[in-house]
């Protein structure tokens, strides 16, 4: 099914291209619309990034969603962070609803270094990955290639609340298995996901999907070396987190502060 924009976005972009020809390069495409959430964005991203690779006269690429409001100097803050460390491949801020962790770089408002994105595409058949979970896969693969993925404290406002229907819960389980994430890591993840609608049933659906796909493909469906690297990397983070929690539980002053809400 071919779907056209309903909010006049193409014409707005074309007008910006006329007004700012040096900085706006309009790319308006018509592609087949898929029912899988996020899949259509990955197709559009692939087309856009492919065109950008041909242009090539830039250092960073910013991905922006239509439902995000950025604060003043957001781009400057992210680029400053990246220029302090040449090995940062992906960097971004955080939605106003999230706290900073070393695992998460927001899907929107993220910056890729040109070199990092080129390597991701080169190692994936010359294109940006077209799949459910493409943004997470890009983060995984950047780490696999040896790049750092760095989330900053800079916050933006996300107008769209976090939602995941049952189909997306199922797809999340399949995606995590495909990329080699370990069983204990997923047990921990879906335990935390109980707080997201539709709460327990959603998390159970995702975990069941992960387990079923793991039975048929126990080592993931991508490159074995890549899957082992991703599985090991995220397990180390989970172990580190629980060690830190255990250390805090043994800290009398920390417990006292929590009890007294100091």
pLDDT of residue 1: 39
- Of the candidates 110, 119, 101, the one whose C-alpha atom is nearest the C-alpha of residue 156 is 110
Rounded to whole angstroms, the Cα distance separating 251 from 65 reads 43
Kindly state the DSSP code that residue 193 receives in the 8-state scheme.
Answer: G
| Domain count of the fold of the chain | 2
- Of the candidates 110, 134, 100, the one whose C-alpha atom is nearest the C-alpha of residue 62 is 110
Using CA atoms, how far residue 86 sits from 82, 136, 153, 166, in Å, is: 7, 21, 19, 40
Phi, psi values for residue 182, rounded to 5° = -75, 155
pLDDT tens-digit series, residues 19-70: 998 878 787 777 677 666 667 788 888 888 888 888 777 899 998 887 888 9
Q: Which residues span the domain enclosing 73?
A: 57-161
- Which of 5 and 196 is assigned the larger pLDDT? 196
**Residues 179 and 125 placed together within one structural domain of the fold:** no
Helices (H), the chain: 9-19, 39-55, 74-83, 114-122, 134-144, 166-178, 183-192, 200-216, 224-249, 252-260
- pLDDT-based confidence at 111, cuts 50/70/90? very high
**Residues 128 and 175 placed together within one structural domain of the fold:** no
Q: What is the CATH number of the domain that holds 157?
A: 3.90.550.10
**Residues 62 and 144 placed together within one structural domain of the fold:** yes
**Residues 127 and 65 placed together within one structural domain of the fold:** yes
Q: Which two tokens stand for residue 126?
A: 């010359």
Residues 6 or more apart whose CB falls under 8 angstroms from that of 6 comprise none
pTM above 0.85, yes or no: no
pLDDT tens-digit series, residues 135-145: 889 999 999 99
pLDDT tens-digit series, residues 214-247: 887 766 667 888 988 998 988 888 888 788 878 8
Domain end call among 100, 126, 161: 161
Residue 144, in any domain of the structure: yes
Domain end call among 161, 183, 199: 161
Residue 80, in any domain of the structure: yes
**Residues 223 and 135 placed together within one structural domain of the fold:** no
Residue 176, in any domain of the structure: yes
**Residues 148 and 178 placed together within one structural domain of the fold:** no
Domain end call among 140, 161, 182: 161
Residue 84, in any domain of the structure: yes
**Residues 123 and 136 placed together within one structural domain of the fold:** yes
**Residues 181 and 155 placed together within one structural domain of the fold:** no
Nearest 5 degrees, angle CA 201-CA 170-CA 45?
130
Chain mean pLDDT for the chain: 82
Using CA atoms, how far residue 144 sits from 82, 149, 233, in Å, is: 19, 11, 9
């Amino acid at each position: 099914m071919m779907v056209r924009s309903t909010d006049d976005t193409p014409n707005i972009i074309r007008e910006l291209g006329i007004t700012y020809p040096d900085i706006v390069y309009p790319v308006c495409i018509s592609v087949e619309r898929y029912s899988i959430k996020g899949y259509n964005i990955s197709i559009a991203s692939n087309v856009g990034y492919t065109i950008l690779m041909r242009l090539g006269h830039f250092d960073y690429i910013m991905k922006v969603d239509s439902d995000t409001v950025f604060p003043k100097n957001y781009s400057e803050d992210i680029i400053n962070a990246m220029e302090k460390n040449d090995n940062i491949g992906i960097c971004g801020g955080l939605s106003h609803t999230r706290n900073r962790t070393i695992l998460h770089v927001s899907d929107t408002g993220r910056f890729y270094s040109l070199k990092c994105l080129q390597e991701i595409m080169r190692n994936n058949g010359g294109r940006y990955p077209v799949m459910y979970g493409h943004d997470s896969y890009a983060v995984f693969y950047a780490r696999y290639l040896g790049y750092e993925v760095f989330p900053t404290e800079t916050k933006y406002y996300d107008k769209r609340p976090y939602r995941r229907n049952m189909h997306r819960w199922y797809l999340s389980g399949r995606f995590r298995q495909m990329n080699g994430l370990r069983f204990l890591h997923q047990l921990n993840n879906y335990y935390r996901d109980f707080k997201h609608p539709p709460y327990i049933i959603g998390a159970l659906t995702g975990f069941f999907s992960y387990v079923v796909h793991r039975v048929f493909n126990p080592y993931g469906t991508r490159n074995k070396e890549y899957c082992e690297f991703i599985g090991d990397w995220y397990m180390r983070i989970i172990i580190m987190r629980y060690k830190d929690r255990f250390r805090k539980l043994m800290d009398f002053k920390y417990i006292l502060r929590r009890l007294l809400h100091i």
